[in-house]
Amino acid sequence: MRKAIIEIASNAQMHRRALNTAHALKAGRAQVSDLHLGFESAAQVFTELTAERLRTLETLKRGGRQSIYALAKTLERNYSNVHSDIRRLIALGLVERDGDGVHVPFDSVEIHLALGVDAA
């Protein structure tokens, strides 16, 4: 089961995690399966993952691989707004695009927040 884990973490913490994973992969002790996405604060999480982007992600996961046009129709949203949101979700690694459309490559997305705490 592949999942995306969104959490509060500094760039240094995310860099350390990536280096540790790379070393474990090189030594044959690990496999890449989960996406860890770190943000400096809870406010930044919800600036990037707006209510509409989360709804778009959920709708896309439920509906499976499809064109952005079909997704916009399902969401009853303007195509250009959905396209912009999909571009950002692709940049974050939460959505993938290929010749057959866009899709969510994860079984689940978890958001871990410690309220009142910013990344150290």
CATH number at residue 108: 1.10.10.10
Q: How many domains does the chain have?
A: 1
% of the chain surpassing 70 pLDDT: 85
62 within domain boundaries: yes
117 within domain boundaries: no
120 within domain boundaries: no
Q: For residue 67, give its domain range.
A: 3-112
Tell me the pTM: 0.81
Among 102, 89, 116, 120, residue whose Cα is nearest residue 4? 89
- Which residue type does 87 have? R
pLDDT digits (tens, 9 = 90+) for 74-90: 999 999 999 999 999 99
* Distance between CA atoms of residues 70 and 63, nearest Å: 10
Whether residue 32 has pLDDT greater than 90 = no
Q: Assess contact for 44 and 87: CB atoms under 8 A.
A: no
| Alpha-carbon distance values, 25 to 30, 32, 96 (Å) | 5, 8, 23
86 within domain boundaries: yes
Q: What is the pLDDT of residue 96?
A: 97
Q: What is the pLDDT of residue 21?
A: 67
- Burial string for 19-53 (b: 16+ CB within 10 Å, else e) reads eebeeeeeeeeeeeeebbbbbeebeebeebbeeeb
Q: Residue range 11-17: average pLDDT? A: 70
Q: Residue range 79-107: average pLDDT? A: 97
Q: Residue range 3-28: average pLDDT? A: 75
Residue 116's CB is within 10 A of a number of other CB atoms, namely 7
Q: What is the pLDDT of residue 35?
A: 84
Alpha-helical (H) ranges within the chain are: 11-26, 42-48, 51-63, 68-75, 79-92
* Distance between CA atoms of residues 20 and 12, nearest Å: 12
Mean pLDDT of the chain: 87
